[in-house]
Amino acid sequence: MPENTSISVIIPVYFEGVIVHTAFERVHKALKDHYPNYEVIFVDDGSGDNTFEELQKLASKESRVKVIRFSTNAGSHMAIRAGMDYASGDMVGFLACDMQEPPELLLDMAKLIGKPNEIVWAVRNSRKDSPLSVLFSNTFYFLARRIVSKNIPPKGASMFLVSRKVVEAIRRYHERNLTLEGLMATIGYKSAHILYNREERIAGKSKWTIQKKLKLFVDFFVAYSYAPIRFISVTGIVLSLLGFAWTIYIVLRHFIVGDLSDGWPALISVLLVGFGITNISLGIMAEYLWRTLDETRKRPNYIVEQELNFSNKK
């Protein structure tokens, strides 16, 4: 990379308070000697505590700290996309404010940016989460790699660094219900990944709730794949074939053996299974319809309430 290459580091924050100072110090220490032309873009995702006040203090002392404040919570993926809209660096990376992904990784990742790689993922060596979280993650990425794209790292990625070319490509996508991981895996640019050991959180607790996990799961597959609709079609065909086969069987048994009697439990079971599958199918179709409606409204993806230290928005 040329000596004057610059890096923009996007850090979404939500109820992070004073740890924004520690986060900036870690990034500054990692980048100052190698990429002096760096900037750190904090995106306050509608925090209700003193996070923005602490960011104001930080931005008043350090011009390389840029701040975007949302008027309301829009989610971490939207916060990162907003950061990309404002980023000016030749390379753009994402970090979580809790510093579980060490900023020093950016240096190793930057070495891999360039032909042919335009995207570099940071992938955890192992997980120390609860068994349920590990099961959810493994299942999610197993399905994602088979249904959406093989370009998704096998264990998923907690951090990324991309070239300017990728940033400009992502800016052209305006859908509200996108996941960055899925988008970067499907836009066609070459990627690489490095492994790392996750560190302890410097403060606070995870904001990654079960509701957010479920939304990510649905967004990922509905936004990038027709597999849910294909699943409905295949399920309908299979059930129809089974239904015809069962009908032929009971008719033949009635006339040949004559030992069938009315069975309300069996009938109720069939109805419950049938209605369950029907409702699941309707739910999947409703997800697609809702997203279509959401896009046709043309509402802004996020509302910026305040900006700090930006001379020009790109």
Distances (CA, A) of 292 to 27, 177, 212, 297: 40, 10, 20, 9
Q: How confident is the model at residue 119 (pLDDT cuts 50, 70, 90)?
A: very high
**107-138: b (≥16 Cβ within 10 Å) or e:** eebbebbeeebbbbbbebeeeeeeeeeeebbe
CA 14 – CA 97 distance, rounded (Å): 9
- Among 119-128, 129-138, 182-191, the range with the most confident prediction by mean pLDDT is 182-191
- CB half-sphere exposure, 39, CA atoms < 13 A: 24
**Range in 33-42, 46-55, 90-99, 131-140 the model is least confident about:** 131-140
The larger pLDDT score, comparing residue 94 to residue 236, is at 94
Find the mean pLDDT for residues 96-109. 91
* Domain chopping of the chain, boundaries: 7-224+300-308, 227-296
Among residues 10, 68, 54, 7, the alpha carbon closest in space to that of 203 is found at 54
Which CATH topology does 7-224+300-308 take? Spore Coat Polysaccharide Biosynthesis Protein SpsA; Chain A (3.90.550)
229-232 long-range CB contacts below 8 Å, 24 or more apart?
A: 229/284, 229/285, 229/288, 231/284, 232/281, 232/284, 232/285
- Kindly state the DSSP code that residue 260 receives in the 8-state scheme: -
CA 22 – CA 51 distance, rounded (Å): 13
The token pair at 241 is 């074939």
Find the mean pLDDT for residues 78-89. 94
Distances (CA, A) of 300 to 53, 71, 81, 176, 255: 26, 12, 12, 8, 66
Q: How confident is the model at residue 222 (pLDDT cuts 50, 70, 90)?
A: low
Predicted confidence (pLDDT) at residue 265 exceeds the cutoff of 50: no
Q: Indicate the pairing of strand 65-70 with strand 39-44.
A: parallel
In SS3 terms, 134-178 reads as HHHHHHHHHHHHHHCCCCCCCCCCCEEEEEHHHHHHHCCCCCCCC
Task: Return the pLDDT at 299.
Answer: 78
The larger pLDDT score, comparing residue 127 to residue 123, is at 123
CB 151 within 8 A of CB 185: yes
CB 203 within 8 A of CB 54: no
**Per-residue model confidence as pLDDT tens digits over 18-49:** 899 999 999 999 999 999 999 999 999 999 88
Residue listed under structure tokens 């990425």: 141
CB 53 within 8 A of CB 15: no
**Range in 144-148, 268-272, 283-287 the model is least confident about:** 268-272
Find the mean pLDDT for residues 240-258. 71
Calculate the average pLDDT of the chain.
Answer: 82
**Per-residue model confidence as pLDDT tens digits over 140-191:** 778 778 877 888 887 777 899 999 999 999 999 888 777 888 888 888 899 9
Give the global pTM: 0.75
**Phi and psi at residue 114, to the nearest 5°:** 130, 170
